[in-house]
Chains A and B, each alone.
Chain A
Amino acid sequence: MMRSLMAGVVALVLTAGIGGLSRWEWEADKTSNAAIRLAWRTRSARVQECRPPTAEELSGVPTHMQQREICEGRVLAYRLRVSLDSQVVVDEDIHGAGAREDRPIVVFREFEVAEGTHTVEVSFEREDGGEMLTDNLALTPATLELSTRLELNKKEIALITYDTETRSLVVQGYGM
């Protein structure tokens, strides 16, 4: 009888242990800070230089695979500059994604900041394509700029992103 009772109690305690560990209260981020996040994805312009193939190049290719012109080019990078409370925190070129850097450009940065008011200046400027032929110029403006004051409480995140409708940088989430 005593053994059965003990067996029951132990089983209940172990089961309750599983229940308790299944709902452990935990704070993944104990900071009382806020965050400013930059995240957008956009297509840049592609520049290329085209020329007719030489006779030598044509001779090695079957007729049905011969091209009228051979083009070599690249996707233009953007220069991202971010100032946070008048201090430059990012100043670098952002290239297209992928091994050949010909995929869309992705910006993804996050800055932890203390709660309170912060001034943020973002500049996103396409490099000069020079005299080369370009395409997709209409997709994203050559320059995107944003200068704003964000008021953030504890744990709030302000998202700065590119709005394809207004074709400008905007703030979403908290901070406005």
Chain B
Amino acid sequence: MNALYTWRFNPLYHSGAVTQMLMVVLMVTGVYLIFFYRISAPYESVDRITNQVWFGRWIRSFHRYASDAAVVSIAFHMLRVFVQDRTWGPRTLAWISGLTLLFVTFVCGWTGYVMVWDVQAMVLAVEGARFLDVLPIFSEPIGRTFVTSGALPSAFFFLNLFLHVALPLTIFVVIWIHVSRIARPRLFPPKKLTWSIIGLLVGMSVIWPILMGPEADVFRIAEKAPFDVFYSFWLPITKLMPAGLGWLAVIGLSTLLLLVPLLTRPAAVEIPKPSTVNEALCDACRQCYIDCPYEAIAMIDREDSKRGQVAHVHPELCVSCGICSASCAPMSVGPPLQNGRVQLAGVKEFINEENVAEQKVVIVACGNGAGGIVANGFPEAPVLGVECAGSIHTSVLEYLVRAGAQGVLVAVCPPHDCWSREGPQWMSERIYNDREAELQPRVDKRRIRVAYASAAELPVVYREYQNYLADLDKLDAKEPERNIDISDVCIPQEIEA
């Protein structure tokens, strides 16, 4: 997808934001449609909307296609989060609230389809009633409502309409909970992507509008009719099974999804430790507090003899992404095995092992992206692997350059693909835009280049590497420095293991 749409507009990287944008589309189009819907004549009123060629048909189709696209984007969003193992620990709330959103979206969709009262609506209603009737909480079978003579009571359609209108309001509350633990949530995708998706859906609504299915007839067994796979995919499965077994399947699947945070949680020894703060070094610059993508850092009043504030990490909110390690110039904060001082110790070892002074290019690569070169290696150049590009302290890059590397290629995930949300963005700003904990002016910025590549984009890493080699040839060769002293900037202290 990156090859086609670039990482800036790859819809898979914006699946959550695309879903929210589609929810807004559904609200707007739904408000228009509700003016014409009548609970006393559901099928006739929707038929009338559909036959208003200029607006009704197109807006109804747009409403329908947007709801389908929302299911697709939710599915991709869930899959992406699951594959990236972002389902446990502090992210549990987001996973559970996401499942709630999925459930509410489906219920909204079902009530929307029942509103039309065509064959699909009747099958959905009857099948739903069959499921509800096995529960020992209703004194009379609900299914009887949809099979007896006469028009269905308006009260049924009123209740249905009420749910269809009220539940979307719930969705916005749950979205708020869903993003409550992240800083700067992106609620909408980039404008270009937003208008492209809207344009495509509107175009399809005009060219290929949704027409009316056959009207529901309680005296006929349901005949062939158009069904929406995104909301009715379960019907062919449940039609074949007794309602009790269907409930077992639903409860089993729901339980499995709810237990994902527990099932995917690594063993206690493998869980990275949350960030800690060395209060003696903290100068209260607030940068870690600003940069943390999960709002896990707060600034609190000092309790020691010094005055002012100090950074404080809430361990229950910290995902150990390490981004704070790179945002702290004096290296006072970060996960114990990832903070700036550990990184410096690691890079010194790397320089000796790989003989960096002899290397044309050294690659610093993100373990989650960068064409997978951290796991699989890169035959052309030595690779220094890191957990997240956002956690690389600029002193590490400085050290590599001053140790003799002609160039340092920082291969990172594309910004919207970062597993820690904002890593590449902050890293890039520290190198090129003097964001706090910036790359020092004494380092020639031409000696450092950032390349964006996802885990599947090894060819991109190769291409960027070749381009960089060619560009470095235009620069004069650089001699390695001896006795590099970064401690002028960073107050020396024993490395915490």
Most buried by B among A10, A16, A28, A35: A28
Bitwise interface map of B from 1 to 20 toward A, beta carbon under 8 Å scored 1, else 0: 00111000000000000000
Q: Could you tell me which B residues sit within 8 Å of A by CB distance?
A: 3-5, 64-65, 68-69, 72, 119, 123, 139-141, 143-144, 147-149, 196, 200-201, 203-204, 208, 210, 218-230, 232, 235-236, 239
Are the C-beta atoms of B204 and A156 separated by less than 8 Å?
no
Are the C-beta atoms of A157 and B139 separated by less than 8 Å?
no
Tell me if A22 is interfacial: C-beta within 8 Å of chain B: yes
The closest CB in chain B to the CB of A6 belongs to: B4
Are the C-beta atoms of A24 and B149 separated by less than 8 Å?
no
B143 to chain A, nearest CB (A): 7
Are the C-beta atoms of A28 and B229 separated by less than 8 Å?
no
Are the C-beta atoms of B228 and A19 separated by less than 8 Å?
no
The 6 closest A-B pairs by CB, nearest first: A173-B219, A23-B226, A21-B229, A28-B222, A27-B224, A7-B4
Tell me if A58 is interfacial: C-beta within 8 Å of chain B: no
Contacts A10-B4, A39-B148; A18 near B224 (Cβ below 8 A): no
Are the C-beta atoms of B64 and A103 separated by less than 8 Å?
no
Are the C-beta atoms of A22 and B230 separated by less than 8 Å?
yes
Tell me if A31 is interfacial: C-beta within 8 Å of chain B: yes
Tell me if A149 is interfacial: C-beta within 8 Å of chain B: no
Tell me if A167 is interfacial: C-beta within 8 Å of chain B: no
Q: What's the Cα separation between A172 and B217 when bound, in Å?
A: 13
Q: What's the Cα separation between A39 and B219 when bound, in Å?
A: 12
Are the C-beta atoms of B221 and A24 separated by less than 8 Å?
no
Size of interface on A: residues with Cβ below 8 Å to B: 44
B148 to chain A, nearest CB (A): 5
Contacts A21-B229, A35-B221; A161 near B204 (Cβ below 8 A): no
Q: What's the Cα separation between A74 and B149 when bound, in Å?
A: 30
Query: Which residues of chain B are within 8 angstroms of A174 by Cβ–Cβ distance?
Result: 219-220
The closest CB in chain A to the CB of B119 belongs to: A28
Q: Could you tell me which A residues sit within 8 Å of B by CB distance?
A: 3, 6-7, 10-12, 15-16, 18-19, 21-29, 31, 33-35, 37, 39-41, 97-99, 103-104, 106, 108, 110, 155-159, 161, 172-174
Query: Which residues of chain B are within 8 angstroms of A155 by Cβ–Cβ distance?
Result: 220-221, 223
Are the C-beta atoms of A156 and B64 separated by less than 8 Å?
no
Are the C-beta atoms of B230 and A156 separated by less than 8 Å?
no
Q: What's the Cα separation between A21 and B228 when bound, in Å?
A: 6
Are the C-beta atoms of B221 and A25 separated by less than 8 Å?
no
Are the C-beta atoms of B223 and A27 separated by less than 8 Å?
yes
Q: Could you give 23 example pairs across A and B, Cβ below 8 Å?
A: A6-B4, A18-B230, A21-B229, A22-B64, A22-B68, A23-B227, A25-B224, A25-B226, A26-B225, A26-B232, A27-B222, A28-B239, A29-B222, A39-B144, A41-B140, A98-B139, A103-B140, A108-B143, A155-B223, A157-B219, A157-B220, A172-B149, A174-B219
Contacts A28-B235, A98-B139, A103-B140; A21 near B230 (Cβ below 8 A): yes
Contact of B69 among A18, A99, A159 (CB under 8 A): A18
Are the C-beta atoms of B228 and A31 separated by less than 8 Å?
no
Are the C-beta atoms of B201 and A15 separated by less than 8 Å?
yes
Most buried by B among A11, A12, A174: A11
Contact of A23 among B3, B196, B201, B228 (CB under 8 A): B228
